[in-house]
Chain A
């Protein structure tokens, strides 16, 4: 049983890590700020989600699981906010005044 769980964890975390890598490559390769943000957020939200999913197989008790999921949700929310703010300042012509 635990072997199967470990395998699932390894798989999910590995796929998550791949998405992080893809996001980082996008950050470095894409031409302008907005498309970089696009690449970064998509990949990171998915990547982190998969990592959290993978770790869920390892937790003891529902409280720890809840904690992991709220970490993911809070990160999603905070990431979306920061992306909005950065996108606004990075817009051609600078921030609206």
Chain B
């Protein structure tokens, strides 16, 4: 309990820092710490799968994205300071937000006892999915439609990011080209870390069917390794018009849809799996989904095309 209280105070402290810091870069650093502390809170709340996701995506990739943006926007910092709202508005906002927090806190104390839960139902049906991790069973079987639509959400976000490219560079390379310094420390470390990280990513994806982990967490690590390789200049980002890249991006949702539709014939419903093949089918979906998510996440970080394709 003492640990939890200390952790909660720390989380709130960095949250206040994130909101109150004058410097945006400092606020972003606060946010990364916030994500890591939240990951600890998730462990305390017996949600290791969420902890992994929070650390990898909520803090890691999001943090990287925000750090990059804040350094690029640093010069606008002083100009924006003049647009801050006056004390009256700030006070009104503080009162409103205080009321929201107080209301939510009251509701937390009011939640019914015993708490309603779907855990028994999730446990009762898990045998039909062939999986050992109930969270993966929810993501890939009970509520597979959410996961399927979410892969499409990611894809649409990427289409949205790409759509911001100037017309003359359409089909070209995302982001700036980083050049590898053959004697640089970064090149050396990246060459060492990338293969290791890919192994870790595959491992985390693979154990997801029985233990904490899964396609989102594994894919994030794979994405991070690709981003690292791009930033260290080991590889260049691929031009967005490449057919193989497009195939890689849609492979996950496409296979998901295809097996979902096959469910009509095999098990009588969309996204239903026949019991004896359930685990095989789920893994068959998860592999391309992991690769597609990894590619999408990495390209979301890389940004819209900035350099024209070679002609």
Q: Which A residues lie at the B interface, using CB under 8 A?
A: 74, 77-78, 80-81, 84-86, 88-90, 94-97
**How far, in Å, is A35 (CB) from chain B's closest CB?**
15
For residue A85, which residues in chain B have a CB less than 8 angstroms away from its CB?
186, 228, 231
Q: Is the CB of A81 within 8 A of B190?
A: yes
Please choose the segment from B40-48, B68-76, B154-162 that sits at the chain A interface, where 4 or more of its residues have CB less than 8 A away. B68-76
Q: Tally inter-chain residue pairs, CB-CB below 8 A.
A: 34
Q: Is the CB of A77 within 8 A of B67?
A: no
**In the bound complex, how far is the Cα of B176 from the Cα of A94, in angstroms?**
13
For residue A94, which residues in chain B have a CB less than 8 angstroms away from its CB?
71-72, 74
**How far, in Å, is B255 (CB) from chain A's closest CB?**
31
Q: Is the CB of A81 within 8 A of B193?
A: yes
**How far, in Å, is B66 (CB) from chain A's closest CB?**
12
- The residue among A85, A90, A94 with the most chain B CB atoms within 10 A of its own CB is A85
Q: Is the CB of B186 within 8 A of A88?
A: yes
Asked if B200 is at the interface (CB within 8 A of a chain A CB), the reply is yes
**In the A-B complex, the 8 residue pairs with the closest CB atoms:** A84-B186, A89-B71, A97-B176, A77-B193, A81-B189, A80-B189, A81-B193, A94-B71
The residue of chain B having its C-beta at the shortest distance from the C-beta of A77 within the complex is: B193
A-contacting residues, B220-267, CB 8 Å: 228, 231
Extra A-B contacts (15), CB below 8 Å, given A78-B193, A97-B176: A74-B200, A77-B192, A77-B196, A80-B185, A80-B189, A81-B190, A81-B193, A85-B186, A85-B228, A89-B71, A94-B71, A94-B72, A94-B74, A95-B71, A96-B178
Partner of B228, one of A81, A86, A96, A97: A81
Given contacts A78-B193, A80-B189, A94-B74, contact A89 B67 (CB under 8 A): yes
**How far, in Å, is A89 (CB) from chain B's closest CB?**
5
Question: Secondary structure at chain B's binding surface: helix, strand, loop or mixed?
Answer: helix
Q: How large is the interface on B (under 10, 10 to 19, 20 to 34, 35 or more residues)?
A: 10 to 19
For residue A96, which residues in chain B have a CB less than 8 angstroms away from its CB?
178
Residues 187-198 of B, flagged 1 when their CB comes within 8 A of A and 0 if not, give: 001101100100
A-contacting residues, B181-214, CB 8 Å: 185-186, 189-190, 192-193, 196, 200
The residue of chain B having its C-beta at the shortest distance from the C-beta of A73 within the complex is: B196
**How far, in Å, is A94 (CB) from chain B's closest CB?**
6
**In the bound complex, how far is the Cα of B198 from the Cα of A74, in angstroms?**
12
**In the bound complex, how far is the Cα of B106 from the Cα of A15, in angstroms?**
42
